[in-house]
Chains A and B, each alone.
Chain A
Amino acid sequence: GQSLEQPSEVTAVEGAIVQINCTYQTSGFYGLSWYQQHDGGAPTFLSYNGLDGLEETGRFSSFLSRSDSYGYLLLQELQMKDSASYFCAVRVANNDMRFGAGTRLTVKP
């Protein structure tokens, strides 16, 4: 089967840095993606890692270690608007994406 593990909740204060981890066990692996979803909205794509290492996009960075079946999303300079759910997702086949349960991030003033 497929399993993706990520923390259910994370709380941090404005301006801080937070790291959301994701470990996976899947039948195939074609890359790890991260999505942000605000309450009542649709998920929006944040980042993708196909190879090991760090990808940086503004305040957000994502890391992947395929040998450890592990990745993380790093959010810097947190803002109130970053309060949302964050999902890691593994592309297990050409047209098959599986999502983790999501991490609810709460940013406090």
Chain B
Amino acid sequence: GAVVSQHPSRVICKSGTSVKIECRSLDFQATTMFWYRQFPKQSLMLMATSNEGSKATYEQGVEKDKFLINHASLTLSTLTVTSAHPEDSSFYICSANANYGYTFGSGTRLTVV
């Protein structure tokens, strides 16, 4: 089946630094990937839609300069949280459309201290 590999699974960083999260589609080509953020005991909130070879589409209220998305190939999309602050601590998950269902990466638990 369709697999999306996401790294790292956990990261702890200091406030003010940047963190890059990678998502790779392993056995299919993903022209579009989605980035979600999930706070504890809450639902998945779509942050942005990443399109291969073009600029990402951000949801209202999501700062494009803070959450940099790059989708340079059909199998790789990256999310960089720039100048991270404690309020950015969350669970970040990518997904790609695989037929009727979306396949999710394993998620990245970001803690900013």
Contacts and interface: CB of A to CB of B under 8 A. Distances in A.
B101 A42 contact: no
B54 interface: no
Given A42-B107, A99-B43, A33 B93 contact: no
Contacts of A50: 100
B89 interface: no
Interface string A23-36: 00000000101000
Contacts of B42: 101-102
B102 A87 contact: no
Given A33-B101, A45-B101, A101 B43 contact: yes
Contact of A31 (B44, B100, B104): B100
Of B32, B101, B103, B105, most buried by chain A (CB within 10 Å of CB) is: B101
Given A95-B49, A95-B97, A97-B34, A45 B102 contact: yes
Interface in B82-101: 93, 97, 100-101
A48 B100 contact: yes
A89 B101 CA distance: 10
Nearest to B36: A99
A98 B44 CA distance: 9
Contact of A42 (B34, B49, B97, B106): B106
B13 interface: no
Interface in A23-66: 31, 33, 40-45, 48, 50
Interface in A90-109: 95-102, 104
Interface of A: 31, 33, 40-45, 48, 50, 87, 89, 95-102, 104
